[in-house]
């Protein structure tokens, strides 16, 4: 008995000594940006560690958190992130935005594979401020979100999917300035391989020679049967002004450029194309040519019965390939024409030097830091889309690109855990790795009150069709990731994802997905009905994350002149629908180039009147009109009434009568709002008797619209 007690006490003592050795109060020096700040302002906490690691982005290797005790005695675990340094001396940072006034205390806890460090306790004093805080769902209304302060918010803006990818070459800052100038407050942008990539495999870019066939100067040689067409063809749209004509004998083009790496060629054809009659070869010396196995993209019904596809070499060729020969064999079907050929060559000029799976691209991290800082200065709020469906695509699409699975770091061919795209959603290791990225994003950007929404995927439903990923796997993945994100994000940002054409059964039933999100390409006449349907069926807000008259673009599927009108109507149909963020148009570059951003101002100014500073929620109001071809919608906030009218006729409509029911009896002032200029008419006095209000002699131009603001005429009434 005595020996067993001695052994027990000895064991307890040794365990205590080991614990003291592995978990110590460290003399880590902490630099805190401020000791006192306002509520919803951000304090930066930086510190250096000497714990060794192999990968500072891997919390299984080294996991660093700030453990915060709030004035309300809640414990928050705030992930910290690695900034710089070596395994012997590394710099780390925490970004904390307190949500309560009073004294907040915290310590840093760092758990490595070798030991645990716990620092002494530090304090932050938080005082009251005028800051509104983070955006939340509004439990009283689907027509707005609400800040922590109680102030209501309705998003007005658009997609800025990425920057500097077309001939317009506008950077983010240009868009931000235009949005601020036009009173917009919301945008959606992608993280993807070509824009803000965070975790990817090394992808090189090269110098590109583009031959648009204005003449033959860029070719090394060509056969005489090939001819140039010197006028723009409708079926080429904006792809090329000059294309080569079809041929009946074998023809060829040869290019000479040092170190040819990749190429892409557009082909336009009718009915069908004999792709087996297109041959490509490479050579180092123009003497011996080696056949090149090229790929053909999906085709596209480009214009009437003309189709387009790409002939591509995707994988970079080795050094020393100096000649490219393209042969078009005789008896080719399809009345073929070739448009521009883009040839990449030389040494890499711009390398996406992302370090791969589980390691994060600091150029992107720094860029997103600065973008969020700029958004906070300009009153803009962000829906951040973490990635898009193309990263699972294993084939070349109709744009001649997006075969991203080949370079995807989760692909087993690149050292990842997944044999197929479907494995990404079910493989336990892949899920574990993805959670580490979410943790890093929360640590680095979760502090921002201007980061409104975490959006997992752009159009995730596409992977069901293109890669046969089961809906059950998509839903299970989203349920797990949304729950995890809510658990590790101390600020509880809104969470969503998006689809384009299909429903993913069960996706919108996930409780941690805060709102449904769909993309609406085509006429927006059914936008209101779609929003109401989704809101009713899933009992959560619905957001149209992308919309436009056509997904191909201006002058591709509809005349360009029609796109502005549909952009305008989509904003106003959304404004009078139960959605907290007005529908966000696509084609952001074209609309900026075409000077269409004033539509955000006229919409945002009317939204501001709708919300104002009163807590009353917007609700639908019964409206009717004397003319059948007039579209109309109405909303009510307390005693204030708002109506939108659209003339779907091809002729002017005059002497229209608008009937509103459900308003309180009394005298009202009606102001007609020009939704294009932003100007109000003079007040018109009207009366409500027995809950009915009648506005007569309204005029609307063909295809034109107006809004009406009605408010009680009494001086003592609500403004």
Gyration radius (Cα) of the chain, Å: 30
Q: Is residue 423 over pLDDT 90?
A: yes
Q: Is 291 helix (H, G, I), strand (E, B) or coil?
A: strand
Q: How far apart are CA 154 and CA 461, in angstroms?
A: 27
**In this structure, which CATH number among 3.20.20.80, 1.10.10.10, 3.30.1600.10, 3.30.390.50 belongs to the domain 152-201+353-611?**
3.20.20.80
Helix, strand, coil distribution of the chain in percent, nearest 5:
25, 35, 40
Do 26-127 and 621-712 show the same overall fold? yes
Q: Longest Cα pair distance anywhere in the chain, in angstroms?
A: 106
Phi, psi for residue 634 in degrees, rounded to 5: -135, 145
pLDDT value, residue 662: 82
Q: Is 585 helix (H, G, I), strand (E, B) or coil?
A: strand
SS3 of 87-151: the string is CCEEEEEEEECCCCCEEEEEEEEEEECCCEEEECCEEEEEECCCCCCCEEECCCCCCCEEECCCC
344: confidence class by pLDDT, cuts 50, 70, 90: very high
Percent of the chain exceeding pLDDT 70 equals 92
What predicted TM-score, i.e. pTM, was given to this entire model? 0.91
330: confidence class by pLDDT, cuts 50, 70, 90: confident
Contact 257, 322 (CB under 8 A): yes
Rounded to an integer, the average pLDDT of 580-598 is 97
Q: How far apart are CA 563 and CA 568, in angstroms?
A: 9
Which are the contacts of 542, defined by CB distance < 8 A and separation ≥ 6? 142, 515, 516, 517, 518, 530, 531, 534, 535, 578, 579
718: confidence class by pLDDT, cuts 50, 70, 90: very low
Mean of all residue pLDDT scores within the chain:
90
538: confidence class by pLDDT, cuts 50, 70, 90: very high
Ranges 24-38, 88-102, 165-179, 274-288: which has the least confidence: 24-38
pLDDT in tens, 660-688: 888 888 899 999 999 999 999 999 999 88
Ranges 80-84, 224-228, 438-442, 616-620: which has the least confidence: 224-228
pLDDT in tens, 287-308: 999 999 999 998 887 667 788 8
Contact 235, 306 (CB under 8 A): yes
pLDDT value, residue 243: 63
Give the architecture-level CATH label for domain 26-127. Sandwich (2.60)
Q: Is residue 275 over pLDDT 60?
A: yes
Rounded to an integer, the average pLDDT of 18-22 is 38
Which are the contacts of 524, defined by CB distance < 8 A and separation ≥ 6? 547, 549, 566, 569, 570, 573, 583
Strand partners, 643: 634, 708
Element (H, E) at 467: none
27: confidence class by pLDDT, cuts 50, 70, 90: confident
654: confidence class by pLDDT, cuts 50, 70, 90: confident
Pairwise pLDDT comparison (378 vs 213), residue with the higher score: 378
pLDDT in tens, 392-420: 998 898 888 888 999 899 999 999 999 99
pLDDT in tens, 141-198: 999 999 999 999 999 999 999 998 777 889 999 999 999 999 999 999 999 988 999 9
Q: How far apart are CA 216 and CA 204, in angstroms?
A: 29
Q: Is residue 84 over pLDDT 80?
A: yes
Give the architecture-level CATH label for domain 204-350. Sandwich (2.60)
6: confidence class by pLDDT, cuts 50, 70, 90: very low
pLDDT in tens, 108-136: 999 999 899 999 999 999 999 999 999 99
pLDDT value, residue 214: 82
CB neighbourhood size of 290 (10 A): 10
pLDDT value, residue 23: 46
Q: How far apart are CA 414 and CA 448, in angstroms?
A: 34
C-alpha 432: how far from its chain's center? 23
Q: Is 448 helix (H, G, I), strand (E, B) or coil?
A: coil
Pairwise pLDDT comparison (594 vs 718), residue with the higher score: 594
Domain limits, the chain: 26-127, 152-201+353-611, 204-350, 621-712
Q: How far apart are CA 241 and CA 272, in angstroms?
A: 23
Topology (CATH level 3) of domain 621-712? Immunoglobulin-like (2.60.40)
Strand partners, 63: 111
């Amino acid at each position: 008995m005595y020996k067993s007690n001695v052994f027990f006490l000895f064991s307890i003592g040794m365990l205590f000594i080991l614990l003291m050795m592995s978990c110590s109060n460290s003399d880590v020096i902490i630099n805190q940006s401020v000791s006192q700040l306002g509520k919803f302002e951000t304090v930066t906490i930086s510190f250096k560690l000497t714990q060794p690691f192999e990968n500072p982005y891997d919390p299984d290797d080294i996991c660093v958190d700030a453990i915060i005790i709030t004035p309300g005695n809640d414990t928050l675990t705030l992930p910290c992130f690695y900034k710089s340094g070596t395994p012997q001396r590394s710099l780390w940072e925490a970004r904390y935005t307190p949500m309560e006034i009073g004294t907040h205390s915290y310590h840093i806890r760092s758990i490595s594979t070798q030991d645990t460090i716990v620092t002494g306790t530090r304090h932050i004093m938080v005082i009251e401020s005028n800051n509104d805080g983070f955006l939340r769902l509004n439990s009283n209304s689907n027509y707005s979100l609400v800040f922590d302060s109680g102030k209501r918010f309705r998003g007005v803006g658009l997609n800025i999917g990425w920057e500097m990818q077309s001939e317009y070459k506008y950077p983010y800052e240009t868009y931000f300035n235009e949005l601020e100038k036009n009173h917009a407050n919301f945008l959606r942008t992608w993280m993807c391989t070509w824009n803000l990539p965070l975790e990817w495999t090394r992808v090189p870019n090269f110098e590109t020679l583009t031959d648009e066939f204005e003449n033959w100067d860029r070719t090394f040689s060509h056969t005489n049967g090939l001819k140039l067409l010197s006028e723009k063809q409708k079926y080429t749209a904006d792809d090329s002004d000059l294309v080569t004509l079809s041929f009946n004998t074998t023809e060829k083009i040869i290019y000479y450029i040092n170190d040819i790496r990749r190429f892409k060629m557009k082909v336009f054809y009718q009915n069908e194309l004999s792709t087996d009659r297109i041959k490509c070869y490479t050579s180092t010396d123009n003497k011996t040519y080696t056949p090149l196995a090229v790929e053909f993209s999906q085709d596209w019904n480009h214009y009437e019965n003309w189709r387009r596809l790409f002939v591509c070499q995707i994988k970079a060729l080795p050094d020393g390939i100096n000649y490219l020969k393209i042969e078009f064999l005789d008896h080719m079907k399809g009345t073929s024409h070739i448009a521009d050929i883009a040839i990449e060559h030389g040494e890499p000029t711009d390398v996406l030097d992302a370090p791969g799976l589980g390691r994060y691209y600091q150029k992107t991290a720094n860029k997103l830091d600065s973008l969020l800082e700029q958004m906070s200065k300009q009153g803009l709020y962000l829906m951040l889309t973490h990635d898009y469906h193309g990263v699972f695509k294993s084939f070349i699409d109709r744009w001649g690109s997006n075969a991203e699975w080949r370079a995807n770091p989760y692909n087993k061919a690149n050292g990842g855990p997944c044999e197929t795209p479907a494995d990404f959603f079910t493989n336990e290791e892949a899920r574990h790795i993805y959670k580490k990225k979410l943790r890093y994003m929360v640590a680095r950007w979760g502090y921002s009150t201007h980061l409104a929404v975490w959006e997992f995927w752009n159009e995730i439903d596409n992977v069901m069709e293109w890669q046969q990923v089961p809906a059950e796997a998509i839903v299970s993945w989203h349920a797990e990731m949304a729950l995890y994100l809510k658990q590790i994000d101390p600020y509880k940002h809104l969470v969503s994802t998006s689809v384009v054409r299909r429903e993913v059964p069960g996706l919108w039933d996930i409780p941690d997905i805060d709102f449904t999100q769909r993309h609406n390409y085509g006429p927006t006449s059914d936008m209101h009905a779609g929003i109401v349907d989704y809101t009713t069926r899933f009992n959560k807000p619905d957001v149209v994350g992308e919309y436009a008259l056509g997904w191909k673009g201006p002058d591709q599927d509809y005349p360009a002149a029609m796109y502005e009108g549909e952009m305008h109507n989509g904003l106003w149909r959304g404004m009078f629908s139960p959605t907290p963020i007005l529908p966000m148009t696509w084609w952001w570059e074209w609309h900026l180039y075409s000077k269409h951003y004033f539509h955000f101002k006229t919409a945002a100014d009317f939204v501001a009147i709708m919300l104002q500073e009163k807590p009353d929620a917007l609700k639908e109001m019964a409206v009717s009109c004397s003319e059948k071809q007039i579209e109309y919608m109405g909303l009510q906030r307390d005693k204030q009434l708002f109506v939108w009218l659209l003339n779907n006729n091809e002729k002017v409509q005059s002497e229209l009568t608008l009937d509103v029911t459900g308003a309180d009896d009394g005298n009202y002032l009606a102001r007609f709002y020009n939704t294009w200029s932003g100007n109000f008419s003079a007040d018109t006095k009207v009366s409500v008797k027995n809950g009915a209000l009648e506005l007569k002699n309204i005029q609307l131009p063909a295809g034109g619209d107006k809004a009406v603001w009605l408010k009680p005429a009494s001086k003592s009434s609500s403004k």
